[in-house]
Amino acid sequence: MFDYWIASPLREPRSAPEGLRRLQKLVAATCLRRTKDSIVQTGTLLLPTRQDRVEYVGLGQEDRTMYDFFRDRAAAMLSGLLLSTEARRDEQQVPGGSLLRLINILRRICDHGEMLLPPADVRLYRDRQDPISESGLCGEQEEEDDGECQSSPSRVDIVPSAKVTRLIDNIRREQQANSTVPSQTPVKSVVFSYWTGMLDLIEPPLRKAGFSFRRIDGQGSLRHRAEVLSAFSEDPSCTVLLASLGSAGEGLDLTAGNCVHLMEPHWNPTAEAQPGARPGAQAGTAARCRDDPVYC
C-alpha cells in the first residue's frame, strides 16, 4: 500500500509532487512534531530564563606542572603527526588515538589533578619518561562510559581540587535559601561529569559539606534508577543529584533540578549542550519561578 500510493510515485518525476503531498499528509496525521521553541511561543510551556555561566578556576602549582608536562607531550606528538601525515596518507594510516588520550589526560588534570589519572599516567609523570611511550598512557579503554582504566589510585583522605571546591561553594550559594525559607520549594542542583571517577571524588566533600545527594552513573538497575529519580524529585532533603554525562545526559525527567553544573567541557558540543538544553522536560528546569543557571 505504501509503495503503491507513495514510494512508487516518488520515483517518477511526473508523479513525484503528488507522492510528496501524500507523504506529507500521512506524516502530519500520524506524527507529533513540536520543538521547545514552538510550545514556548504558543504559551503551552512557560519557562524561566536560562542563564549560562562559565566558571574559570585556576590550577594549583602541582597540577599546573603536571598539566604542562602532558601538554608539552601532546604538542610534540601533534607536531610529529603533522610532519608525517602526507607519508601516512598513502598507507591510509593517520594515527590519532594516542593524541586523544593525551588530551583526555589534560581534561582529567583540570578536574582533579593526579587523583583522576590512571596509575600508569601518574608513574609516567613522576618518572618524567621521554619520549612518549604507549605503555605510559591509559591503554585503549578511552571514551567509554566512565573513561576509567582498570585500576584507580587510592582515594583515602581526598583533598578536593580547586574545581570541586568551587562547585561546593556554588551549590552552597544557590541553595542558601533552603535553610532560611524552609517552607519554600527547595532549590536543587544537578552535577554532570563525563567520568564516574570524578563523581567518586565529588562525593566526600559534598557529604562533608552537609548536602544530601543521590547518584546515577549507568551502573545501577532500572529500578535503582527510578528510585534515585523519585528521591531527587520528591524528597525535599535530597538537593543534589550526581550524574554521569553518558547515563543521564538525555532521556531522563530531571525537572526537580534548578541548577545544572557541567564539571568539564566535552569534545562533542552536542553532548555538552544536552544537560541544560531541555528545560521543561529534562535537566535544567527551574522551579516554576526561578531563573535557571547552567554552570560549566
Query: pLDDT tens-digit profile of 171-184?
Result: 999 998 887 776 67
189: CATH = 3.40.50.300
Q: In a structure prediction context, what are the per-residue pLDDT tens digits for the chain, which is 296 residues long?
A: 899 999 999 999 999 999 999 999 998 888 766 666 655 555 555 666 778 888 899 999 999 999 999 999 888 887 776 556 555 554 444 445 577 888 899 999 999 999 999 998 999 898 875 544 444 454 444 444 444 443 344 445 678 999 999 999 999 999 988 877 766 788 999 999 999 999 999 999 999 999 999 999 888 788 888 899 999 999 999 999 999 988 765 567 788 888 899 998 877 777 777 766 544 333 333 332 344 455 55
Residue 111 near residue 198 (C-beta atoms within 8 A): yes
Same domain, 179 and 239: yes
Same domain, 166 and 281: yes
Same domain, 164 and 286: yes
Same domain, 260 and 166: yes
* CB-count exposure of residue 66 (10 Å: 0-12, 13-18, 19+): buried
* Residue 113 in grid coordinates: 589533578
Domains of the chain: total: 3
Domain of residue 189, residue span: 50-56+158-295
Distance in angstroms (rounded) separating the CA atoms of residues 199 and 262: 12
98-118 confidence digits (pLDDT tens): 778 888 999 999 999 999 999
Distance in angstroms (rounded) separating the CA atoms of residues 30 and 291: 36
25-49 confidence digits (pLDDT tens): 998 888 766 666 655 555 555 666 7
CB atoms within 10 A of CB 54: 9
Q: Does residue 272 belong to any structural domain of this protein? A: yes
Q: Does residue 231 belong to any structural domain of this protein? A: yes
Cut 0.85: pTM above it: no
